[in-house]
Amino acid sequence: MKAITGSAGREQAAAVGTQLLLLVPLHLGWAGWLAGAGYAAALWFILTIARHRTGARSFGPADHVTLARAVLVGCVTALVAAHAATGPLFVAVASVALALDAVDGLVARRTGTVSALGARFDMEVDAFLIMLLSIQASAWLGVWVLAIGLMRYLFVAASRPLPWLRAPLPPSFARKTVAALQGILLVAATSGVFPHPAAIALAAVALATLTWSFGRDVRWLWRRRAPAPPLQDAVSPVQDSMSPIQDAVSPVQEAEIRAGATGVSARVSAFRLRPR
**224-235: pLDDT as tens digits:** 987 755 655 444
Mean pLDDT of the chain: 83
Predicted local distance difference test score (pLDDT) of residue 231: 52
CA nearest to 8, candidates 124, 136, 117: 117
Predicted local distance difference test score (pLDDT) of residue 269: 45
Contact criterion met (CB below 8 Å) for 93 and 76: yes
Contact criterion met (CB below 8 Å) for 182 and 148: yes
What is each CA distance from 196 to 92, 191, 200, 274, in whole angstroms?
Answer: 21, 11, 6, 117
Predicted local distance difference test score (pLDDT) of residue 229: 59
Mean pLDDT of the region 177-199: 95
- Taking only the tens place, the pLDDT of each residue in 19-38 is 899 998 888 889 999 999 99
- Taking only the tens place, the pLDDT of each residue in 29-85 is 899 999 999 999 999 999 989 888 888 778 888 999 999 999 999 999 999 998 877
Predicted local distance difference test score (pLDDT) of residue 161: 95
Question: How much of the chain, in percent, has pLDDT values that exceed 90?
Answer: 54
CA nearest to 202, candidates 268, 154, 133: 133
The C-alpha R_g of the chain, in whole angstroms, comes to 34
Mean pLDDT of the region 95-100: 94
The CA distance from 9 to 48, in Å, is 8
Q: Is the pLDDT of residue 132 over 80?
A: yes
Residue 18's pLDDT band (cuts 50, 70, 90): very high
- Taking only the tens place, the pLDDT of each residue in 251-276 is 545 545 455 545 544 444 444 444 44
The CA distance from 99 to 89, in Å, is 15
Task: Please provide the DSSP assignment of 35-88 as one string.
Answer: HHHHHHHHHHHHHHHHHHHHT--S--HHHHHHHHHHHHHHHHHHHHHTT---HH
Mean pLDDT of the region 95-108: 90
Residue 105's pLDDT band (cuts 50, 70, 90): confident
Q: Is the pLDDT of residue 160 over 60?
A: yes
Predicted local distance difference test score (pLDDT) of residue 258: 55
Predicted local distance difference test score (pLDDT) of residue 6: 62
Q: Is the pLDDT of residue 108 over 50?
A: yes
Of residues 25 and 3, the one with the higher pLDDT is 25
Q: Is the pLDDT of residue 115 over 80?
A: yes
Model confidence pTM above 0.85? no
Predicted local distance difference test score (pLDDT) of residue 264: 44
Predicted local distance difference test score (pLDDT) of residue 27: 83
Contact criterion met (CB below 8 Å) for 71 and 43: no
